Amino acid sequence: MTDNEFDFRIQLILNKDKNGLREIYNAYGRLIYQQMLSVVKSPQDAEDLTSDFFLRLWETAGMYRQGSGHKRYLTVMARNMAIDFLRKRKHESYTLDDDEVFHEEQADSRLTDDEVIGGISFKQALDTLDPAEKEIINLRLGFELTFKEISKTLGKPLGTVTWKYRQAISKLKHTVKEGSIYG
Amino acid sequence: MARDIRDIKEIKDQYKQHIHDTAPDMDKLWNRIESEIDKKENVSAQQPNITYSRTNVKQANVKKSIFTAMTAAAAAIIIAVGAVQMSENLRTGKENSAADFDDINSRTNTSESIKIDPDEILNYSSLELSSTSTAAYKEDYTAYGDEYFVEKNVLEQTDCFADVTVLKADLTASGGNYTLRVNELYSKDGHDTQTGSFTVKSSTPYIMQENREYFIPLKKESGKYYLVFENAPQIEITLDGGAVFQNGWNSLDENSCSVNKEELGKNDFYYDRMRYCPQKDLTELIESWKNT
């Protein structure tokens, strides 16, 4: 969905036409669910939050500024809701810790051949990613955000984002090398 | 390189398939969302219009009272589940009110606008704020009330805005009691020149700091005032006319940058989404509110 197409759907919502929300839901519902899931981890909680997310979008459509980048708007809103949920309900925190900030010397050392796992499903491969990597993969491959947009969405340095993305891709390539993708 | 690109494309295709395969029943989920929307729409259609009958309300042009500085930062506020009850000692203090308000205007009505880099990150401690001796919030506080800040919803529930200064913050294990001096009250049809003090109880971690100034939305029920939204820092006004606010306040976002707070407690949830604007014209916010 382009920004213009999204803007049109927002106008429908502002006119109380639920078709506008339904089309946004059809385009992004699964991705929003995945983003929620990558943070809260519980499928049921992620489903509840996805429902809350679209209710909130319905109520706050007037706050969206046209042309401001709808994907980032959606992902920031989803992320804040998921983090608030964790903080309030479970008293958990979710951050990319300081020690996860990118350092050049880490780039080639984090993944070794010893970590390669062959012949597993893609889902199992995804499970080897940490929550932050999953979120970045979802934003990059699912929402197709640029690294800069991901950096702004997560409030993390660009270097950290690209490093974690490369690390995640590398893990996926290695773990499924003899599995569903290449098998 | 070509192999890498092909690999990533394959992973991307696989990922999209994975998303599709592992999603919940999307039709069922949509039905649930649609049902909730219908419920909410029915409720709001049945709600009567609220009328405002305030005494001593001066018809004032809100634009004239530009606070450029609003906000609040975070940290502070108070209001909690509890409720802000205007005490009986609310008294008329027109002279003080006018003086305070003029003071705010003098801080904020500068002809030259200060532009700020939206990507800049300021430290909260670097802002011009009054000195304070308020202790940090109690970490065992639990926030109640609405979970998600939605500006539109907050404005719809707001009966008046109050510019207040915290005279005393009395923190206990179960919450905080705050004595606030009202510098100005704003109703939808003007601003109220009544000033005085009132007390506010709160159990949220968002403590208002003594000697600091805030701009808070209040709702009135059965003669009592309550904070409209408790689970976020309130808008804090800086000495030089700036405003610190959490990023849910979309109306205040223009010409603002991120604010970093150096020391956080475990319940200080909102400090990763605080904004600062060196000059904040409240007109847009007030107009948004008046149009709700």
Chains A and B form CB pairs within 8 A to the count of 103
Q: Which residue has the higher pLDDT, A28 or B168?
A: A28
**Residue B37: is its pLDDT beyond 50?**
yes
* Alpha-carbon span B56 to A141, nearest angstrom: 59
**Residue B48: is its pLDDT beyond 70?**
no
Tell me which amino acid residue B28 is.
Answer: K
* Alpha-carbon span A138 to A153, nearest angstrom: 12
Who among B7, B153, B269 is closest to A84 (CB)? B269
At A125-157, the pLDDT tens digits run 888 888 888 889 989 988 888 888 888 888 788
The alpha carbon of residue A105 is apart from the nearest alpha carbon of chain B, in Å, by: 22
Distance of CA A142 to the CA centre of its chain: 7
Distance of CA A100 to the CA centre of its chain: 18
Mean pLDDT along residues A115-123: 58
In this structure, the dihedral spanned by the alpha carbons of residues B85, B88, B89 and B94, taken in order and rounded to 10 degrees, is: 90
Residues A59, B26: C-beta atoms closer than 8 Å:
no
**Residue A6: is its pLDDT beyond 50?**
yes
Who among B18, B152, B266 is closest to A63 (CB)? B152
Residues B14, A181: C-beta atoms closer than 8 Å:
yes
The alpha carbon of residue B278 is apart from the nearest alpha carbon of chain A, in Å, by: 21
- Rounded (to 5) percent helix, strand, coil in chain A: 70, 0, 30
- Which residues of chain B neighbour A18 with C-beta distances below 8 Å? 34, 37
Q: Residue B249's closest chain A neighbor by CA? A: A63
Q: Which of A53-57, B7-11, B219-223 shows the highest mean pLDDT?
A: A53-57
> Do the beta carbons of residue A73 and residue A10 sit within 8 Å?
no
- Sequential DSSP letters for B148-161: S--HHHHHHH-SEE
Residues B33, A123: C-beta atoms closer than 8 Å:
no
Q: Where are the alpha helices (DSSP H) in A41-111?
A: 43-60, 70-85
Who among A25, A30, A173 is closest to B19 (CB)? A30
Interchain contact B37–A (C-beta under 8 A): yes
Mean pLDDT along residues B68-77: 34
The mean pLDDT value of chain A amounts to 77
Phi, psi of A114 (to 5 degrees): -65, -25
Tell me which amino acid residue B4 is.
Answer: D
Residues A16, B41: C-beta atoms closer than 8 Å:
yes
The alpha carbon of residue A20 is apart from the nearest alpha carbon of chain B, in Å, by: 12
Who among A43, A80, A137 is closest to B273 (CB)? A80
Confidence tier at A30 by pLDDT (50, 70, 90): very high
Least confident of A20-34, B37-51, B95-109, B169-183: B95-109
* Alpha-carbon span A1 to A32, nearest angstrom: 14
> Do the beta carbons of residue B218 and residue B160 sit within 8 Å?
yes
Disruptive mutation site among A13, A15, A65, A87 for chain B (greatest number of B CBs within 10 Å): A87
At B114-172, the pLDDT tens digits run 677 777 778 887 788 777 776 555 555 555 555 678 888 899 889 888 888 888 888 77
> Do the beta carbons of residue B288 and residue B155 sit within 8 Å?
yes
Distance of CA B274 to the CA centre of its chain: 11
At B84-126, the pLDDT tens digits run 444 333 433 333 333 333 444 444 444 445 677 777 778 887 7
* Alpha-carbon span A70 to A5, nearest angstrom: 10
* Alpha-carbon span B171 to B177, nearest angstrom: 6
In this structure, the dihedral spanned by the alpha carbons of residues A142, A145, A147 and A152, taken in order and rounded to 10 degrees, is: -120
Bridge pairing between strands B121-123 and B257-260? parallel
Confidence tier at A84 by pLDDT (50, 70, 90): confident
* Alpha-carbon span B290 to B156, nearest angstrom: 9
- Which residues of chain B neighbour A122 with C-beta distances below 8 Å? 14-15, 17-18
* Alpha-carbon span B132 to B75, nearest angstrom: 12
What pLDDT was estimated at residue B80?
A: 32
Distance of CA B256 to the CA centre of its chain: 15
- Which residues of chain A neighbour B250 with C-beta distances below 8 Å? 63, 65
Interchain contact B140–A (C-beta under 8 A): no
Interchain contact B266–A (C-beta under 8 A): yes
Question: Which positions 178-237 of B are in contact with A (Cβ < 8 Å)?
Answer: 231
> Do the beta carbons of residue B196 and residue B92 sit within 8 Å?
yes
SS (H, E, C) B61-99: CHHHCCCCCCCCCCCECCCCCCEEECCCCEEECHHHHHH
Q: Residue A134's closest chain B neighbor by CA? A: B15
The alpha carbon of residue A64 is apart from the nearest alpha carbon of chain B, in Å, by: 9
Q: Would you state the structure tokens that stand for residue B71, as one six-digit string?
A: 């906000």
- Across the strands, what pairs with B200? B84, B178
Who among B19, B29, B41 is closest to A47 (CB)? B29
CB contact set of A164 (below 8 Å; sequence gap of 6+): A96, A100, A102, A132, A133, A136
Query: What are the angstrom distances between the C-alpha of A162 and each of A74, A102, B67?
Result: 21, 9, 42
The mean pLDDT value of chain B amounts to 69
The alpha carbon of residue A6 is apart from the nearest alpha carbon of chain B, in Å, by: 18
